[in-house]
Structure 1
Amino acid sequence: MIWLIGLLLVFIVHIALILLLEFRNPGKAVAWMFILFLCPPLGPVLYYFLAREYKKRKRLLHRGPVQFRSLRGQLRSQSATLETLEGMRNPEFVHQERLYRLLAHHAVNPITGGNRTEVYSSGEMAFGAMLERMEQARDHIHLEFYIFRSDMIGSAFAEVMIRKAREGVKVRMICDGLGSFKLETAFVERLKEAGVEVYFFLPPRVAVRNRRVNYRNHRKIVVVDGRIGFVGGLNVGDDYLGLYEKMGFWRDTHLQLEGDSVHYLQLTFLEDWLLASGQDLGDPALFPAHEGPGREQVQILTSGPNMTRNLIQEMCFNSIAVAKRRIWIASPYFIPDPSVYLALKTAALSGVEVIVIMPYHSDSRLVKLASLSYVEELLQAGVKFVQYTKGFIHAKVMIIDDLLASVGTANMDMRSFFYNFEMTALLFDPDTIARLESDFQQDLADSVPILPKAFAERSRWQKGLELLARLLSPLL
């Protein structure tokens, strides 16, 4: 009887600690208490290793953006950055002073000019462009991926990296420790023996020891000679070419960038390199001067648990709030935080066309259930949901009127907003927005709508599973 009372006291104390530590995030507190009730012995252990805020470690917090503050200032002075609203080339921004102030004055990276972008809507096109640019490298190649596999396309990347390293090009690669957990040691050693520098971002042992298992580097970056950059949804693996039978055709969106925006891809890579390797590569020579190859304006937004604000989430909320005509979103994982959820609902009720494309076949049963739990009420408000049936849609795209579009690594979910290291390119050029609009319309043609009446008639069992997944959604 005494031991039972002791266990009950421990249980009560743990609930009190969750309420005390998570009082700023009620959804997260409810999720952890649900886990605790579901599995009392395991709950405290999971909370200890997964729930600790990244920001509590000041050493890790300051070995990021603050470390390169001086270099960031130099880049602003030598880049074609926008200083006034009147400098925005897109006429849609004339009356968007509030959104402009948020993006231009409160984001870490400025809006840059003199850019040229290329949009790729498949892995085959994007990987071909990456490998071609890597072959042309003369000084350095920097790669950063959440997942890197040693399959056919991974081996193709490795061959280029090895060849360029032997030619004297500096080749550096970061892989996420959990996302690339299955990458074979022999594959990595072969790269290192050829002179490629490889580091894993928070490897599992380090993540467990430092209680950082829940914080992953989800960015996808390639920078060649500081002049050409790539960012978007693609990791390196044959599944991103549509070669996995289980997932079938893989639909993604990736960008090639040239211009001042590449400097901020580079800077983000160097910040992550510092965190992963401990090496400070803040050398101005990695940011070569260039003549602007284009006229597009682009902004690179980054967010992560080592930053004091959630910039990508703030951008999404504010962009949705100012929309007048349309909000088009494609995301493989749709688990919006309460503010974005309310912004989408309010926009639809106000007559704005809100369309969300999500996968019909998901790679995560739990995430799909959680996503569907948000659908019914938004359908009633007028939000249109469609499910992509041609294969698996992994693109992370948002289009707001003809005002802006975003392409990057962040999903429309709380994990991307608050837990992962993410990156998004904001695009303001009307022609680029029109290109993404064309892709979106094709995706709509390859999708089936979720009809409100049919969706409301799904089984109680299905609704129950969605409810349980919804309770866990702040942690997914």
Structure 2
Amino acid sequence: MSPVAASTPARPGPRLGAMLAGLGLSVALVACGTPRPPVNGLLPEPPAAAPALTRVAAQVDVVGPRGPLNQARREQALQSAASQGKAELLKRQIAAMSSFGDVDLYAGNEARLLIDGPATFAAMFDAIGKSRRQILLESYIIEDAEVSRRLADLLLQRRAQGVQVAIIYDAVGSLGTQDAYFDRMRQGGVAVCAFNPVNPLKRTRYHKITHRDHRKMLVVDGETAITGGINISAVYSSGSGGIGSRGSRKAAKPDPGPRPASSASAASAPGDATSAPDRGWRDTMVQVRGPAAQALHTLFRETWTQQQCEGAIMAAAEVQPAARAAGQQLMRVVPSTPNDTENRIYTLLLGSIRAAQRSVYLTMAYFAPGKDMVDALCDAASRGVDVQLILPSQSDFAPVMHAGRSHYERMLKAGVKIHELQDAVLHAKTAVIDGVVSTVGSSNMDWRSFVFNNEVNAVVLGEDFGDAMTRMFQRDVAASQTITLPRWEQRGLVQRGKEFFSSLFEQWW
């Protein structure tokens, strides 16, 4: 159902009650104080022009299969990415990244898009089946469903064959999973760790309950990694009906990241067009081979240590990754945590949008980005950049969707094109900017991802992967409904009210 149709007036009683409930929630959230911004101080200006390759190479650190590269080899790695096409745009984008601080790049990678659950689970099971030394799995949700039981069987089999296996799951995201599921793996020798347990008696030290691990990644032998937005959950088993899928299925469990418990009253009522329907889930992962996989391996080990999980994890040096390059892709691995002074995923996206010259294509499951990000999108469109967003037409958590819609009118007037995905629950978090900066990750474009969660995005630099991302974006546009300004201006008072109340607390969703 379209946003305009969704705003058809409801009965006065329920509508008034919902508005009063929203107002009460608003007052309560204001009393809690405003979350800190994901970036501090003045934003650096984007580069006026693309700098010389030598200068760009001096501004970044690059690690290859055999370790850090010197200036000459950094230039070679950058030149290899630039030779794919759009070299001036690539250099400008890397310079914009470096204006926010250190940029660590990884050369010699192979990167492959995995679209929807079936393709992702097939790749995960294949990598696990070929493991020789170690399997590391980290996921916000590990649901006790058929796919996760098959996963547990395979992990236990590999452990019995001498492969080290370690799992981190988020205690809130996986709250519905019985302890018996994890206990079975523990009994089979798998090291299992709950991130920030809800029960304070099970915590080794104090962590804020709002600090959640929203990452999804698998690392095998320190050589192959898979990361992005897909949890170990039944909702992905048959895909969204798009490429890489096998039809649609009932959406059984959401993953918006943890939301305030008090916000339940603001969610859509049964029968509301914004509630999650019986659809497949549209999501994206990326499979990586090469030094970027080692970076994800290190990131897992850091979380394991910080959470004081039981059991030692082999270091990257012990894993002995291949000495030869797995491919030609230049990559970044961008993690973020609530302890960061500035959120690196936020600065990556913001800086890239502000430096964009040709195109900005974003696909976001949860879009409540704040003023700076909306300013950047509108400014880019106003200077002639092709800015297009794919956003959800229905959501398992309505307030964040309505908060995002509160920005539609301004963005449409600035020339931003907005499409809402139909017939599937959108859960992907991807972007391709100027065709040369591509990111696939766990981070939504909202405050919960930017301020409260552990997240990680994989970034691939260069036109080759950018072309694949653009083709995927275009297929999703074809499955979406475009929102036009005249039509949006005709939406009803109920829809406008939802946007108004949700936007008041955009920084809490």
TM-score (norm 1): 0.82
Q: How does 1:146-295 map to 2 (within 5 A)?
A: 146-206=140-200, 210=206, 212-241=208-237, 242=239, 243-245=249-251, 246-278=277-309, 281=313, 283=315, 284-286=317-319, 288-295=321-328
Q: CA deviation at 1:141?
A: 0.2
1:128 aligns with 2:122: yes
Structure 1 equivalent of residue 274 of structure 2: none
Q: CA deviation at 1:101?
A: 4.2
> When you count helix as a share of all residues, which structure comes out higher?
1
User: Are the aligned partners of 2:65 and 2:107 in contact in 1 as well (CA < 8 Å)?
Assistant: no
User: Are the aligned partners of 2:139 and 2:168 in contact in 1 as well (CA < 8 Å)?
Assistant: yes
Structure 1 equivalent of residue 433 of structure 2: 400
1:426 aligns with 2:420: no
Q: CA deviation at 1:411?
A: 1.2
Distance 2:195 2:218 in 1: 16
Tell me which amino acid in the other structure corresponds to 1:256.
Answer: Q
Tell me which amino acid in the other structure corresponds to 1:446.
Answer: A
Name which of 60, 70, 79 aligns with 2:67: 79
Structure 2 equivalent of residue 468 of structure 1: 501
Q: CA deviation at 1:78?
A: 3.6
Which deviates the most, 270-279 or 311-320?
270-279
Please, which runs of 5 or more residues in structure 2 have no aligned partner?
1-19, 39-60, 240-248, 252-276
Q: CA deviation at 1:136?
A: 1.0
Q: RCO higher in 1 or 2 (8 Å CA, sep ≥ 6)? A: 2
Distance 2:150 2:405 in 1: 38
User: Are the aligned partners of 1:107 and 1:311 in contact in 2 as well (CA < 8 Å)?
Assistant: no
User: Are the aligned partners of 2:365 and 2:427 in contact in 1 as well (CA < 8 Å)?
Assistant: yes
CA offsets, 1:193-251, max 9 Å, x none? 00111111111124999461222111111000111000111011110224325441221
1:38 aligns with 2:24: yes
Q: CA deviation at 1:47?
A: 3.5
User: Are the aligned partners of 1:79 and 1:112 in contact in 2 as well (CA < 8 Å)?
Assistant: no
SS in 1 for 2:474: helix
Q: CA deviation at 1:41?
A: 10
Distance 2:423 2:195 in 1: 34
Distance 1:379 1:433 in 2: 25
User: Are the aligned partners of 1:263 and 1:287 in contact in 2 as well (CA < 8 Å)?
Assistant: no
Q: Alpha carbons of 1:104 and 1:257: their partners in 2 closer, same or farther (altered >3 Å)?
A: farther
Distance 2:385 2:96 in 1: 22
Q: CA deviation at 1:74?
A: 12
1:445 aligns with 2:478: yes
Distance 1:262 1:160 in 2: 21
Q: How does 1:351-362 map to 2 (within 5 A)?
A: 351-362=384-395
Distance 2:27 2:398 in 1: 25
Q: CA deviation at 1:82?
A: 7.8
User: Are the aligned partners of 1:81 and 1:110 in contact in 2 as well (CA < 8 Å)?
Assistant: no
SS in 2 for 1:261: helix
Q: CA deviation at 1:436?
A: 1.2
Q: Alpha carbons of 1:119 and 1:74: their partners in 2 closer, same or farther (altered >3 Å)?
A: closer
Structure 2 equivalent of residue 141 of structure 1: 135
SS in 1 for 2:500: helix
Please, which runs of 5 or more residues in structure 1 have no aligned partner?
1-33, 55-72
Q: Alpha carbons of 1:448 and 1:40: their partners in 2 closer, same or farther (altered >3 Å)?
A: closer
Tell me which amino acid in the other structure corresponds to 1:197.
Answer: A
User: Are the aligned partners of 1:145 and 1:219 in contact in 2 as well (CA < 8 Å)?
Assistant: yes
Distance 1:257 1:115 in 2: 7
Q: CA deviation at 1:337?
A: 2.3
Structure 2 equivalent of residue 28 of structure 1: none
Structure 1 equivalent of residue 8 of structure 2: none
User: Are the aligned partners of 1:174 and 1:276 in contact in 2 as well (CA < 8 Å)?
Assistant: no
SS in 1 for 2:154: helix
Q: Percent of counterpart pairs with the same letter? A: 28
Q: CA deviation at 1:170?
A: 0.7
Structure 1 equivalent of residue 109 of structure 2: 115
Q: CA deviation at 1:185?
A: 0.6
Number of residue pairs the alignment of both structures matches:
423
User: Are the aligned partners of 2:65 and 2:291 in contact in 1 as well (CA < 8 Å)?
Assistant: no
Distance 1:108 1:161 in 2: 37
Q: How does 1:288-367 map to 2 (within 5 A)?
A: 288-367=321-400
1:411 aligns with 2:444: yes
SS in 2 for 1:236: coil
Q: CA deviation at 1:419?
A: 1.8
Distance 2:405 2:62 in 1: 46
SS in 2 for 1:271: helix
User: Are the aligned partners of 1:334 and 1:412 in contact in 2 as well (CA < 8 Å)?
Assistant: yes
SS in 2 for 1:195: coil
User: Are the aligned partners of 1:335 and 1:371 in contact in 2 as well (CA < 8 Å)?
Assistant: yes
Q: CA deviation at 1:87?
A: 3.8
TM-score (norm 2): 0.77
Q: Alpha carbons of 1:193 and 1:361: their partners in 2 closer, same or farther (altered >3 Å)?
A: same
Q: How does 1:44-63 map to 2 (within 5 A)?
A: 47=32
Tell me which amino acid in the other structure corresponds to 2:121.
Answer: F
CA offsets, 1:362-412, max 9 Å, x none? 121112111111111111111111110131221111111122111111112
User: Are the aligned partners of 1:82 and 1:104 in contact in 2 as well (CA < 8 Å)?
Assistant: no
User: Are the aligned partners of 1:148 and 1:236 in contact in 2 as well (CA < 8 Å)?
Assistant: yes
